[in-house]
Structure 1
Amino acid sequence: MNRRRQASIGLSAAVLAGLLVYGVYELQLRQIRLEETVQVVAAKAFVGAGTKLEPEHLTMLTLPRSAVAREMLTDAKEAIGMETAVPLGSNEPLLAWKIDKYRLLPSKGQSTFQIPREYVKSVAGGIRAGDAVLVYLSGEETPSRKLYERPITVAGVKTAANVEIDDPKNPNLLSMADGDKEAMYASRREANGTIDSINLNLSEEQWLALDSACKGGTAKLIIASLGTTIWETDGEATE
């Protein structure tokens, strides 16, 4: 009887030891997997452009560390309350440049400057607030060149009557937020005036470079439209 009892106890101890070893193995394996993956913020379902993000729009997605890009958000609190600049697909990792709070306002380190009329040689007629523009310098005494390598955000364009240029019946900014290119095109065709002044979001260095180049009157600006909306990251615009 004692032998059977001892055998039973020994078998039970062996089973418990095996389970303990297996449990430790599973914990170690889980820890390794956690170290090799990262949770990033993603859209729970399709989210349209111009949507203010709420907790119900977001979920956490587990990705291999090697697949995580620098601009992916890892904290949902950073996205809540922000506005989507482009549509987001279901389970699409959220990138920092795809959201912003006030896209037409100058970003950190920038100010909105109204460009003096005498500095401007030409402005593309289809430019609207929120657009990306390229700024070139044209002069008789110096070779023409691009003033800034990166696109610049347009804060506003107005007529001589100080009225924002747009189609009152089909505002360009609303169409832009919805990602409706046909409506954006139509609003530009039906705009309510000719551009008389343009406001750009520039850093202090960018403004000083522009002012220094143009204040002598020998060089002027040519402002060309990229025909796309841009979003800012780290004070610079990206397409």
Structure 2
Amino acid sequence: MGKGKNRFIWIAAAMLSAILVYGLYLVQLRSIERQHAVQVLVPKRFIAAGERIEAQDLGLQTIPSGAFAQDMMSEPSLAAGQEAVVPLGQGEPLRDWKLDSYRLLPARSESTFQLPREYVLSVSSGIRAGDRVVLYASGAASASVRLFADPVVVASVKTSGNQEIDDLDNPNLLSLAEGNRQKMYASRRDANGLIEFVNLNLTEEQWLRIDELCKGGEVKLVIAYSADSLDIADAGTGAAP
């Protein structure tokens, strides 16, 4: 009887010791995880491309330090007020390249250039501010060529009276921000005005190339609307391109 009781006490002590060791292991593991975890900004809801982000749309989420990337954001003040360049999923770590303060303003390496009218042979009548366009060089003495591999952003399109071309009842930029392809089309259809001035966001190298080609008058630009602008709208709604 005494041996059985001693054996039971020994087993109970061993089990209690194992539980204590495991508990200590869990405490240490959680402490290590806390030391190697970081907090990053995440949207509290889905945010469509072009939508302006408010402070109440953002929250903090803890992730392992191994999953942290240098472009992830952690300061709400740096993200609030900016626009989403691409759709942002709920709970998705926020990266600085997915945000832009003013999408119609030139990027850090760009400037906004107004194309001289004598440089332009034709302009797609449907282009609006915020669109992406493809530039072609056309001349009688040489074959037409595409100037740049990537489309460039239209800062503004204006009439001869310096009025922005748009549908006042259904602004194109609002439709673009909402990701509404149908409203974008309707805005282009209903807007009135002949495009006289086109302002593009270009790098210095791009502008110098345009100026070198066109200043002699033998080569002119053809400005074509790019499907990339519709891709932005489709991304906002989640529709397939």
TM-score range, shorter chain: 0.7 to 0.9
Distance 1:71 1:184 in 2: 36
Residues 135-181 of structure 1, C-alpha deviations (whole Å, 9 max, x = no match): 11122333322211111110000112211111111111111112221
Alignment match, 1:169: 169
Residues 188-225 of structure 1, C-alpha deviations (whole Å, 9 max, x = no match): 00112121110001111111111011112221111111
Alignment match, 2:199: 199
Would you say the 8 A contact 1:130–1:229 is kept in 2?
Answer: no
Name the structure where helix makes up a greater proportion of residues: 2
Would you say the 8 A contact 2:71–2:97 is kept in 1?
Answer: no
The answer to whether residue 212 in structure 2 is matched with residue 212 in structure 1 is yes
TM-score (norm: length of structure 1)? 0.76
Distance 1:181 1:96 in 2: 26
Matches within 5 A, 1:38-57: 40-57=40-57
Q: Which moved more, 1:94-103 or 1:183-192?
A: 94-103
CA RMSD of aligned residues (A): 3.7
Distance 1:64 1:48 in 2: 27
In structure 2, the residue corresponding to 1:160 is in which secondary structure? Answer: coil
The alignment of Structure 1 onto Structure 2 pairs a total of residues equal to: 225
Would you say the 8 A contact 1:166–1:188 is kept in 2?
Answer: yes
Alignment match, 1:190: 190
1:165 to 1:70, Cα distance in 2 relative to 1, 3 A: farther
Distance 2:15 2:32 in 1: 26
Deviation of the 1:46 alpha carbon: 2.5
1:164 to 1:75, Cα distance in 2 relative to 1, 3 A: same
Matches within 5 A, 1:25-64: 25-26=25-26, 29-30=29-30, 40-61=40-61
Distance 1:70 1:137 in 2: 41
In structure 2, the residue corresponding to 1:211 is in which secondary structure? Answer: helix
Distance 1:221 1:27 in 2: 68
The answer to whether residue 71 in structure 2 is matched with residue 75 in structure 1 is no
Distance 2:11 2:194 in 1: 91
Alignment match, 1:134: 134
Distance 2:70 2:181 in 1: 26
In structure 1, the residue corresponding to 2:210 is in which secondary structure? Answer: helix
Consecutive unaligned residues in structure 2, runs of 5 or more: 1-9, 233-241
Distance 2:62 2:140 in 1: 57
TM-score (norm: length of structure 2)? 0.76
Alignment match, 1:223: 223
User: Aligned partner of 1:74: which letter?
Assistant: M
1:230 to 1:37, Cα distance in 2 relative to 1, 3 A: farther
Alignment match, 1:148: 148
Q: Which moved more, 1:57-66 or 1:47-56?
A: 57-66
Residues 108-154 of structure 1, C-alpha deviations (whole Å, 9 max, x = no match): 12111100111111111110000011111122333322211111110
